[in-house]
Chains A and B, each alone.
Chain A
Amino acid sequence: MSDAAATIAPDARPRLPHGVRLVNNEAQGGLVLLAPERVFKPDPIAAEILKRCTGELSLAQIVDDLADSFSAPRERVLTDVTALLRSLADKKLLEL
Chain B
Amino acid sequence: MAAGSDKLPRPLGLLAELTHRCPLGCPYCSNPLELDRRSEELDTATWARVFGEAAGLGVMQVHLSGGEPAARRDLVEITAAARQAGLYTNLITSGVGLRPETFAALVDAGLDHVQISIQDSEAASADHIAGYQGAFERKRALAAAVVARKVPLTVNAVMHRANIDHVADMVALALTLGASRVEIAHVQYYGWALPNRAMLMPTREQVERAVAAVEELRTRHHGAIVIDAVVPDYYARFPKPCVGGWGRRSLNITPSGKVLPCHAAESIPGLEFWSVRDRSLADIWISSPAFQAFRGTSWMQEPCASCPRREQDFGGCRCQAFALTGDARATDPVCHLSPHHAMVAELAAVRTEAAYIYRR
Which residues of A pack against B, CB within 8 Å? 1, 5, 17-21, 23, 25, 27-28, 32, 34, 36-37, 39, 89-92
Nearest-neighbour CB distance to chain A for B64, whole angstroms, equals 13
Contact of B228 among A20, A32, A37, A90 (CB under 8 A): A37
Task: Identify the closest chain B residue to A27 (Cβ).
Answer: B58
Which residues of B pack against A, CB within 8 Å? 10, 12, 55-58, 60-61, 86, 88, 90, 112-113, 115, 149-152, 154, 180-181, 183, 222-223, 225-226, 228
CA distance A18 to B86 in the complex (A): 16
Q: Which residues of A contact B183 (CB under 8 A)?
A: 37
CA distance A77 to B57 in the complex (A): 37
Cross-chain contact B112 with A34 (CB below 8 angstroms): yes
Cross-chain contact A25 with B152 (CB below 8 angstroms): no
Given A34-B88, A39-B12, A19 and B61 touching (CB < 8 A)? no
Q: Which residues of A contact B55 (CB under 8 A)?
A: 27
Q: Given A5-B223, A19-B152, 11 other A-B contacts at CB below 8 A?
A: A1-B222, A18-B152, A19-B112, A23-B60, A23-B86, A32-B60, A34-B88, A34-B112, A36-B115, A90-B223, A92-B181
A-B contact pairs, 26 of them (CB 8 A): A18-B150, A18-B151, A19-B112, A19-B113, A21-B112, A23-B86, A25-B60, A27-B55, A27-B57, A28-B10, A28-B60, A32-B60, A34-B60, A34-B112, A36-B90, A36-B152, A36-B180, A37-B90, A37-B113, A37-B154, A37-B183, A39-B61, A90-B222, A92-B152, A92-B180, A92-B181
